[in-house]
Amino acid sequence: MNKRILIITMIMLTFSLLHPVQVKKREVRDFRNFEKGTFNGTGLTDSGELFISLKSSVIAGPDREYYLGSAISKKGDIYLGTGHNASVFRIEKNGKITEMFKAQEPDIYAVLYGSDNFIYTGSSPRGKLFRITGVMKSKEFFNPDEKYIWDIKEDKSGNIICAVGGSGGVYRIDKNGNSKKIFSGDTHIISLFISVDNSIIAGSGGSGILYKISSQKNRVLYDTPFEEINGIYEDNEGDIWFSASKEVKKRKTSVGSKLISFSFPKERRIPQEKSALYLRHSGGEVEKIWSSSDEHIYAVAPDKKNGGVLIGTGDRGRIYRVNKDRSYSLVYEGESAQSYKILPGPEGFTIVYNNTSSIVKLSNFPSSKGSYTSDIFNLGIQSRAGRLYWDPLDGNTPSISMFVRSGNTASPDPTWTEWSPPFTDNNNSNINRNGYKYFQIKVNLNSASGVKSPGISGFRFFYVQKNLNPEIKKININLPVQPKKNANQKKPVMWKKNTLNISWKADDPNKDELKYSLFLKKFPGKVWIEFRKDITTSRTELNTELYEDGNYTLKVVTDDSLSNSPDTFRSDTKESKKFTIDSTAPVLSGFQRTGEFVTFRVKDRISVISKVQYSFSGEKWYPLNPVDKINDSKSESFKISKKLLKGKKLIFFKITDEYKNSKVFQKEL
């Protein structure tokens, strides 16, 4: 190779290393990043591991807008109470749907399948409790003269326990329909659970308090900083799981006929979470197990296989498995927004959804496949996408495939590309797409081949944005502000005379690092003088004493070569408006006595006279206005009455122009 060519090549290589192309990365690795996407048959652990989740199937339900109350029979039939057109439907395991009951009231929030094989249901508002004995065969069982019937349970003696809203409270109704109000508290009691000792655990709506109701004494188990206790479950160890939603500040509530006040310290703050799952241990201590600032908890159900609970949330229609050690995982995401009820059964769980109403059956066993679609990645600018990498769990790479699509609109539409062919090599998959601003990744997991269920702990891809021109928005040129005197200041602040403060605002669409060079040109003239080179700050100072007085223009030149290679870097140039450099003080001339006055003139070649002061000692100064009473010209006339000067031998004048140039003149009288 020719030596000259070799030297040039080495110089160019060195320059490229000093000015690298800025490669960027998008990564999905932890729970918060993953959860922004959409899960279809996949789940996610709290540590950010994506896996194939529980097998699911959709159960056809009645054509109603809302599914509110629900229960499941011993043989697996689902009983469903509807809203805005209140009925109770039976959905048999073979899919047959039968309307069992039609209410005069609009909503049914509570349904119970009793040990006597009858269906009990509460209608609202103007709440009434009915016993359904057959298809369209029912009888009013209890009328509490309350507005709402929120929940009904059966205790171990066969009594129906009814939670009501209006005046608020809990009723016990025996098999013959005889009722007794056993608890009064809050405006609404909305959730119930029958404890092992046949006491009643109740949750309020309005004050978010968990109560225990027993024959011995009614007491508060826990006072949450939320409004609603909407799910309760007590496990075999006597630990109580309960969910709370919707923050609201509470002050007082009533238990029985006594009024109990809750006084909070001023520093106590209402939490920002929308909901929380609590665990009250059998010893009485309470801990927050799970919380969310984005999702409301609608349902809590036992997860006996794993020793924890399932919770249903909105508005992403998600089901979470939560354990006592605070670990959790997302196990299902439905197409409807609110996972309103969770009904455990021997073969899995039945999920009742709203918005829109639907029913899903979750098996106890995982599916053979699932997929995950990421949130849309906004790369900010049309870009070139490079390689895609992912981190498989347990090395099951052949069971994992990745897909990519891209476009230039914020949401996928017909202008987007189709999904790419599958990528299967987690260490060598090149997306190789150019000219798109938005990208989306899909992950397919498949265990049908018989290998261990696959999963990933994260993925990432690299890209380079199309380099766009930086833009200088605005140039500011100002005199420095003279600091005010501060009595508490130990050291005086120095004011820089004959200095201009120069600042500018520049934006780079790629967020690249910018450098700047500044040039100065005097009018009339054609030659630019460079006085700053390759600075990286967006402000500097100009020492005006270095330049002749006159009118000037400033030019700022910027480029992004610190972040881009020599063949791709971009630049921009902007010139300021004309401004004045004036480093010369005004002069005093024509000092003379004429009649009753002493007169003189003050002139400045460049700028307006801003202030004239006089003194007889050079210490204390007094203002002096020109003859026309306003300082607004480069030349001003002044006169002083001789009466003011009587007995004085010297007078001093301090003259200042608008650029803060000043000079003192001394005259004998």
The string of pLDDT tens digits covering residues 237-259 is: 999 999 999 854 443 333 333 33
In the block, residue with structure tokens 């094989």: 117
> Residue 272, SS3?
coil
pLDDT at 495: 55
pLDDT at 487: 54
Q: Is the pLDDT of residue 16 over 70?
A: no
Distance of CA 148 to the CA centre of its chain: 36
Higher pLDDT among residues 260 and 570, named by residue: 570
Q: What is the dihedral of CA 650, 656, 661, 663, to 10 degrees?
A: -10
In this prediction, residue 653 has a pLDDT band, given cuts at 50, 70 and 90, of very high
pLDDT at 5: 39
Q: Is the pLDDT of residue 442 over 90?
A: yes
pLDDT at 246: 83
Tokens found for residue 340 = 């309103």
Query: Do you find a cis peptide bond into 125, omega within 30 degrees of 0?
Result: yes
- Spell out the long-range contacts of 473-476 with Cβ–Cβ below 8 A and sequence spacing 24 or more: 473/504, 473/505, 473/506, 473/507, 474/504, 474/505, 475/502, 475/503, 475/504, 475/554, 475/556, 475/574, 475/575, 475/576, 475/577, 476/501, 476/502, 476/503, 476/504
Percent of the chain with pLDDT over 70: 90
pLDDT at 628: 95
Distance of CA 556 to the CA centre of its chain: 38
pLDDT at 447: 86
Contact by Cβ (8 Å): 514, 556: no
In this prediction, residue 8 has a pLDDT band, given cuts at 50, 70 and 90, of very low
pLDDT digits (tens, 9 = 90+) for 380-411: 999 999 999 999 997 667 789 999 999 999 99
pTM for this prediction: 0.75
pLDDT digits (tens, 9 = 90+) for 138-166: 999 999 988 999 999 999 999 999 999 98
pLDDT at 269: 46
Q: Give me the mean pLDDT over the 561-573 stretch.
A: 91
pLDDT at 426: 94
Residue 213 corresponds to which amino acid? I
Give just the sign of the alpha carbon dihedral 237, 310, 194, 282: positive
Contacts (Cβ under 8 Å, ≥6 apart) of 94: none
Q: Give me the mean pLDDT over the 199-219 stretch.
A: 92
Kindly state the helix (H) or strand (E) to which residue 135 belongs, with its residue range: none
Q: Give me the mean pLDDT over the 218-226 stretch.
A: 94
pLDDT digits (tens, 9 = 90+) for 467-481: 899 999 999 999 876
Best CA proximity match to 296, nearest among 241, 364, 330, 246: 246
pLDDT at 486: 61
pLDDT at 264: 35
Backbone angles phi, psi at 4, to 5 degrees: -65, -45
User: How far apart (Å, rounded) are the C-alpha atoms in residues 472 and 469?
Assistant: 10
Least confident of 13-22, 67-76, 325-334, 379-388: 13-22
pLDDT digits (tens, 9 = 90+) for 617-627: 888 999 999 99
pLDDT at 572: 97
Q: Is the pLDDT of residue 537 over 80?
A: yes
The per-residue DSSP string of 11-34 comes to: HHHHHHHHS----EEEEE-SHHHH
User: How far apart (Å, rounded) are the C-alpha atoms in residues 293 and 519?
Assistant: 53
Tokens found for residue 222 = 């826990």
Query: Do you find a cis peptide bond into 315, omega within 30 degrees of 0?
Result: yes
Burial of 524 (0-12, 13-18, 19+ CB in 10 A): exposed
Mean pLDDT score of the chain, rounded to an integer? Answer: 89
Q: Give me the mean pLDDT over the 291-308 stretch.
A: 93
